[in-house]
Amino acid sequence: MSPVTRKHIDAILPFLEQFEETGFSVDPYDEAVVEFVQILYANDWVTPRVKWVEWQDVAEEYVDSPEKIKSADVVTVQRLFTTHVRKDRFCEGHLSSMVENGHIVALLRRLKEILETTPDTAEWNMDDAAWEEGFGYLTAYVQAEGHARVPQRHLTADGFRLGAWVAKQRYKKDTLSADRRQRLDAVDGWVWNARPSKHGRKKP
């Protein structure tokens, strides 16, 4: 997907104040809602590269558990916007209901928070699939080796640079999303300030 920049966030943040206003009229044909959708499309917040039908169940989890939004990254927000806007084409009034129940406002607030607290824009666009791949290799390594102190030059059997991936996560600790930090913290033996490890290789 196209990288999300500050310009993309700035384009839709003005709607936060408008949707937060007391007495805001939520209507599928409300001028503000229509304009909001247009701005989303114009700034690639709605993208055909998201398989929104497959994302509906995930989107419902974020609606039912608003606290999850507090750790959502921009890629996740982009997927949620795409899912809700696309679904509205088949279920009239869906997007308006997302505005009315505060879900869209929560997504906009999260983007505002990211804009204000995360200076590294590259972290905004770390591809979820690539990160999940690295995390999967890490958990497999821990299961096999019994520790998470991956040598920096370690390669998996199929050539994945796991050592470099782990080092990058530690280096970027302060700009990783809360969700990713929590998941790494939950890995058995994970440490953020790793010293040279004596474990690097299996004993013969």
Residue 144, Cβ density class (10 Å: 0-12 exposed, 13-18 middle, ≥19 buried): exposed
Q: Which residues of the chain have pLDDT under 70?
A: 1-2, 22-29, 122-123, 125-129, 195-204
Spatial contact of 80 and 62, defined as CB atoms under 8 Å apart:
yes
List, as one string, the DSSP characters of 43-58: TTSS-TTS-HHHHHHH
Spatial contact of 58 and 124, defined as CB atoms under 8 Å apart:
no
The residue among 192, 180, 174 whose CA lies nearest residue 118 is 174
Q: Tell me how far apart the alpha carbons of residues 105 and 54 are, in angstroms, rounded to a whole number.
A: 23
Q: Provide the token pair at 58.
A: 């995930």
Residue type, 164: A
Q: Tell me how far apart the alpha carbons of residues 148 and 184 are, in angstroms, rounded to a whole number.
A: 10
